[in-house]
Amino acid sequence: MIWEVFRQEQAGEYHTHCGNVHAPDREMALLFAQIQHARRKPTNSLWVVPQSEVSAVDADTDGVEFGGTTDKSYRWVSAYNVDVEFAEEIETSDREQRKAEGER
Amino acid sequence: MATNQQSDPDELTDRQQAAVETLLFSLADDEFVLAERYTEWQVRAPTLESDLALSNIAQDELGHARLWYDLLTEFDYTESELLFERDPADFTHAALVELPFADGDWADAIVRSYLYDTAEQLRLAALEDAAYTPIADRIGKIRSEEAYHREHAENWLERLCADPDGRANVQAATDRLFPHALALFEPVDAEHEATIREFGLRSESLADLRERWLSITVPLLDSLGVRPPVSADGSPPELPVAYGRGGEHTEQWPVLHAELTRTYRELDRTNTRTITNDPDHAR
């Protein structure tokens, strides 16, 4: 039986999928996951989930349309032509911000 | 709590030093030889996961052996004298840890680990306030890792015993290993053992530790349908003739020792390289 393993580095963070283990049951899965996925990494918590309990929908499934594939670069400021004065303004503000961060 | 605590190896009396050395050698040799045997399971365990878990346990035990051998270097032993140049007859581990595994006998590895790690837990607890403080200082690190070893062994025991064939294998391993495990509660010799107690190195006698070990292992095995080889009144079996510790080793030990020192000899080494810092002076 395959158990998907999720590792959380610090309290409050998300548990992130990090691989899987073969184990006959939940208890052994937790025991094996500790060695395989947490022995050499800072870990606050581990989850194990039976692979069969995970439901999935994939990009190549008929009728499925995930986002992130159309060109939306017009939303990014770098895509615009701006006049010289405006660019200087941005540069100054950038410089001031870097300076302020350096002094923190 | 011991009142005559001592942290400086040079301040020990000769008798105390001999007792500390005897204790350290038995602790270190048990861990070292057990780890050596466990590593034979690498790439041979029933599944990849069990392989990694046992290898990890072996690595822990090697680390613990290093902590104990390292304290012996305070008494002017070199690493080669402690291991590679040492006469195999001078090792004082219990023969439990030197016995070879029959091909594919996973139940043996699990029963051995269960019997050993249960004894280890009791033994370490009794050393927590050792009058020679460098010993006491290292107990916490070791105990934190031993909990996983016991959980691993107990979980496996339960699962092996849930199946008639598995239980038969656990029974056979228990019959074979149980008398050998009793050697963990044998002194290396009576005189040093008396000093270990008087000086306040170990807070419990070996006999008391053995009783407590029996009161844990016998009911647990019983509950799994495995009959430990104790008589009706609860008294344990006789020690095997070759039980290690202060007595003789089995004929398997010189073979294993030759194997683990083979590379050292083939490379014509006369000493070893230290690859890690002394944990006490690492900062």
Binary contact (B155, A28; C-beta < 8 A): yes
Best of B47, B49, B156 to mutate (most A CBs within 10 Å, chain A): B49
The per-residue pLDDT for A83 is: 65
Between positions 215 and 234 of B, the ones with CB within 8 A of A are none
- Give the range of the structural domain holding residue B194, as residue numbers without chain letter: 12-228+239-272
A47 touches chain B (CB under 8 A): no
Predicted confidence (pLDDT) at residue B81 exceeds the cutoff of 60: yes
CB-based contact B155 A21, cutoff 8 Å = no
CA distance B261 to chain A (A): 29
Residue B283: per-residue pLDDT: 42
Query: Which helix (H) or strand (E) covers residue B11, if one does?
Result: none
Task: Give how far B149 is from chain A: nearest CA, Å.
Answer: 10
Residues of B in contact with A24 (CB under 8 A): 159
Decide: helix, strand or coil at residue A22: strand
Chain A's closest residue to B147, CA to CA, is A31
A32–B56 CB contact, under 8 Å: no
Query: Hey, are the CB atoms on A22 and B49 less than 8 Å from each other?
Result: yes
Per-residue model confidence (pLDDT) at position A84: 66
Domains of chain A, residue spans: 2-53, 73-103
Q: Shortest CA distance to B69 belongs to which of B239, B283, B272, B268?
A: B272
Question: What is the pLDDT averaged over residues A20-38?
Answer: 95
Q: Structure tokens of B163?
A: 């199946």
A23 close contact with B: CB closer than 8 A: yes
Is B81 within the bounds of a domain? yes
* The pLDDT of residue B282 is above 60: no
Decide if A90 touches B, using CB distance below 8 A.
no
Amino acid at A36: Q
- What pLDDT is recorded for position B23? 98
* Cβ B75 vs Cβ B8: under 8 Å: no
- Which of A21, A27, A34 lies at the smallest CB-CB distance from B155? A27
Q: What is the predicted pLDDT for the residue at B159?
A: 96
Q: Which of B141, B165, B144, B161 is nearest to B153 (CA)?
A: B161
- Are A32 and B53 within 8 A, CB to CB? yes
Give the pLDDT band of residue A40 (cuts 50, 70, 90). confident
A21 contacts in chain B (CB < 8 Å): 49
Instruction: Yes or no: say if A41 and A22 are a contact pair by the CB < 8 Å rule.
Output: no
Provide the pLDDT for residue B279. 60
Query: pLDDT digit string (tens) for B86-109?
Result: 999 999 999 999 999 988 999 999
**With an 8 Å Cβ cutoff, is A43 touching chain B?**
no
pLDDT at B2: 46
Q: Is residue B234 part of a domain?
A: no
CATH topology of domain A2-53: Ubiquitin-like (UB roll) (3.10.20)
Model confidence band, residue B52 (pLDDT cutoffs 50, 70, 90): very high
- Asked if residue B149 is part of any domain, the answer here is yes
- The C-alpha atoms of residue B100 and residue B229 are separated, in whole angstroms, by 21
Query: What are the phi and psi torsion angles at B143 (to 5°)?
Result: -65, -35
Contacts of A23 in chain B (CB under 8 A): 49
Interface check for A35 against chain B (CB to CB < 8 A): the answer is yes
- Complex confidence, ipTM: 0.77
For range B216-232, the mean pLDDT: 96
With CA atoms as reference, the chain A residue closest to B160 would be: A24
Average pLDDT, chain A: 87
Domain count, chain B: 1
Which chain B residues have a beta carbon less than 8 Å from that of A22? 47-49
**What dihedral angle (degrees, nearest 10) is formed by the CA atoms of B206, B207, B209, B212?**
170
Task: Tell me which chain B residue has its CA closest to the CA of residue A22.
Answer: B49
In a domain, B251, yes or no: yes
In chain B, residues with a C-beta closer than 8 Å to the C-beta of A27 are 155
pLDDT at B1 over 50: no
Band of residue B127 on the pLDDT scale cut at 50, 70, 90:
very high
Q: What is the pLDDT of residue A99?
A: 87
Mean pLDDT score of chain B, rounded to an integer? 93
**Nearest-angstrom CA–CA distance, B99 and B104:** 14
Domain assignment of residue B21, yes or no: yes
Mean pLDDT of A5-23: 96
Question: Which pLDDT tens digit goes with each residue over B131-187?
Answer: 999 999 999 999 989 999 999 999 999 999 999 999 999 999 999 999 999 999 999
